[in-house]
Amino acid sequence: MSPCDFCSSSGARWLYVPQDRATVALMTDNGVVNPIPNDGRWRACDLCSDLVDTDDMENLVARCLIGARIAGAPVPEGGPLLEHMAMVVMANFATVLAGRPTKERL
């Protein structure tokens, strides 16, 4: 089974394909713009799919960061570094959440 592109758990059952693909980039403190590469198509498990469908970005980002922490990524417990990481995750998710993506069963 495919992993969920949001939380990294196994068992993705849905594919979101954006109608209007957003181009997402982040700017460094030095003013350098770095695009976030992805094709805009996201696989989702049932739980993440529910969060996407209800436009619950806060809980979707939290679920993603918890999944990253479980997978061994260095996710801070709080503070500015966690806030920055959450903003990066949210910007990346914007590629699928822009407009109304179509939802297909995998």
pLDDT digits 0-9 by tens, 51-99: 999 989 999 999 999 999 998 989 998 899 999 889 888 877 876 777 6
**Residues contacting 24, CB < 8 A, separation 6+:** 35, 36, 91, 92, 94, 95
* CA 94 to each of CA 35, 52, 72, 77: distance values in angstroms, whole numbers, following the listed order: 12, 11, 24, 24
In angstroms, what CA-CA distances link 16 with 9, 71, 98?
16, 23, 11
Q: What pTM value is reported for the model?
A: 0.79
Cβ proximity of 96 and 18 under 8 Å: yes
Q: Read off the pLDDT of residues 28-59 as tens digits, 9 standing for 90 and up.
A: 778 777 776 666 788 999 999 999 999 899 99
- Identify any residues that bridge with 16 across adjacent strands, giving them in sequence order: 42, 103
Residues 6+ apart with CB under 8 A from 87: none
